[in-house]
Amino acid sequence: MSGFTAQIECVTRSGTVLAQDLSVSAAAGEAVAVIGSNGAGKSVLLRASALLDLADSGNVQLGASRWDFVSGVLQPCETPPWPTLTMALQTPGLWPHLTVRQNLEAWKRFGLDRRKGRLAADYLVDRFNLKPLLEKRPSHLSGGEAQRVALARTLSLPCEVAFLDEPNNALDVEYAQILIEILRDFKRMGGIVILASHSAGLVKAIGDTFVFLKNGRIKERGRVPDLDAASTQDLRVFWGLMSGQVIQAVQAETQ
């Protein structure tokens, strides 16, 4: 698998600048954690990097393949980006008219190898305990069940880069741990993970590097193990709240 780089120079909507000068890169087998408060630009960065939303300018590169944004238009490229780039959104986004089983056959839409597609889907059905849900439609699923199906659908595709926006939303502790194990296996096979998360546990378990966003710009980047010794006040306060350090300190002072 190849290295990945996204340079998102500017993203605007209706004349409002949502993000500027954002970039993220990872080598094969690495994970980047994108962190920051609500509205900081995490989803904007992920969606533009996955080529789901248009940036005004910038580019995305995976190995020898490159996709360019020029004046808000994605330029033609000989290599189709999907499902090599694949994303799980904050909301499950399941096809409501299809059963869980049919949602998990997304590989058919890309004309992918039937045997490999089924093997990957069956593996994730087993890991996420989805067999009892296969004939149900999304409207009959709980939030956690729908999230497990959405993650299985995304990760069953033969992607090289998986973009995950708050992937452990609605997951209980058991399935959050299973997700970590699956992502570690994906990384061991050379896969790249770009994730946005408010879970310090997930960031520490999966992330190799981090990008800290504030007001649509990068404030700091570095290695995940260095987050506990952040160099800027903004990141120290944010990570302290995210990891519970500030809460623990307040509780200690009040005891």
> Can you tell me the distance from the alpha carbon of 13 to that of 70, in angstroms, rounded to the nearest whole number?
15
Position 245 scores a pLDDT of 60
Q: Check: pTM over 0.95? Answer yes or no.
A: no
Position 255 scores a pLDDT of 45
**Pairing state of beta strands 73-74 and 65-70?**
antiparallel
Q: In Å, what is the CA distance from 53 to each residue of 8, 46, 73, 133, 151?
A: 11, 9, 10, 31, 20
Position 106 scores a pLDDT of 85
Domains of the chain from N-terminus onward: 1-84+159-255 (3.40.50.300), 85-158 (no CATH)
Position 249 scores a pLDDT of 43
Position 117 scores a pLDDT of 77
Residue 138 preceded by cis peptide, ω within 30: no
Q: Which residues of 17-56 are buried (b: 16+ CB within 10 A; e: fewer)?
A: ebbbebebbbebebbbbbbbbeebbbbbbbbbbbbebbbb
Position 172 scores a pLDDT of 94
User: Dihedral angle at the C-alpha atoms of 87, 90, 95, 96, nearest 10 degrees?
Assistant: 170
CB burial class (10 A; 0-12, 13-18, 19+) of residue 181? exposed
> Can you tell me the distance from the alpha carbon of 22 to that of 8, in angstroms, rounded to the nearest whole number?
5
H helix runs in 32-172, sequence order: 42-49, 100-103, 114-127, 143-155
**In terms of Cα–Cα distance, which of 152, 143, 45 is closest to 102?**
152
Could you list the beta-strand ranges (E) of the chain: 4-13, 16-26, 31-35, 57-62, 65-70, 73-74, 85-88, 161-165, 192-196, 209-214, 217-223
Q: Residues 198, 170: contact at Cβ < 8 Å?
A: no
Residue type (1 letter), 92: P
pLDDT by 10-residue block (mean), the chain, 255 residues:
91 92 97 96 96 95 94 88 92 95 87 78 96 98 97 94 96 96 96 96 97 96 94 92 63 43
